[in-house]
Amino acid sequence: MYENIGGGQFFTSGQQKQVETLTEFTNGFAVPKYQNVTSNGQPGKDEQFADTDYPMFRLADAYLTYAEAKLRGGTGGEFNELELVNLLRERAGLSEISASALDLNYILDERSRELHWEATRRTDLVRYGRFTSGDKLWAFKGGEQQGIPTAEFKNLYPIPASEISANPNLDQEDQNEGYN
């Protein structure tokens, strides 16, 4: 059963909203954004690999990136960041926002809505300084159910050992801090 929650479609049958354990797959709501079905609801041609396209970069991402850059003091370009954000809202069937509502926090929140499940959230949180900090917590962040801050070195991934071994200019001391 799909349910409209806050404008989004979620699979809720047999599910509970809060994630209580990481191994229980009835915790949290499933997101049907990428289903391997045709436009008439039939299964895709290949059961091993999804037939659906994965968006690598969307115009909405470009608009929101531009708006963020302008809000951070960028001067390039002739477009108005408020107009670009409101174009996205119009496309989504939402009302316009005012100039006073458009700030960096709004952009971060809008990116989470617009680009949900498109592999941008971690990078966004790192860029805003919220990935490891305590001012943005989620279930099981830092290995605790209620979420806790994590070590700042986790803003970077470790360099794979195979890459260090393959590059004669690197050794284990070149590993990103915290992963030695």
pLDDT in tens, 1-15: 555 555 555 656 676
pLDDT exceeds 70 at position 92: yes
Has domain 56-128 been given CATH number 1.25.40.900? yes
129-153: pLDDT as tens digits: 999 999 999 888 999 989 999 999 9
pLDDT exceeds 80 at position 58: yes
pLDDT exceeds 90 at position 157: yes
Average pLDDT over residues 106-121: 94
The mean pLDDT value of the chain amounts to 87
Residue 80, pLDDT score: 95
Question: Which of the listed ranges 33-37, 70-74, 139-143 does the model predict with the highest average pLDDT?
Answer: 70-74
Residue 21, pLDDT score: 73
pLDDT exceeds 90 at position 41: no
Ordered by start, the domain boundaries in the chain are: 1-54, 56-128, 139-180
**Contact assessment for residue 41 and residue 34, using Cβ atoms and an 8 Å cutoff:** no
More confident residue, 38 or 126: 126
pLDDT exceeds 70 at position 65: yes
Residue 45, pLDDT score: 82
pLDDT exceeds 80 at position 127: yes
pLDDT exceeds 80 at position 154: yes
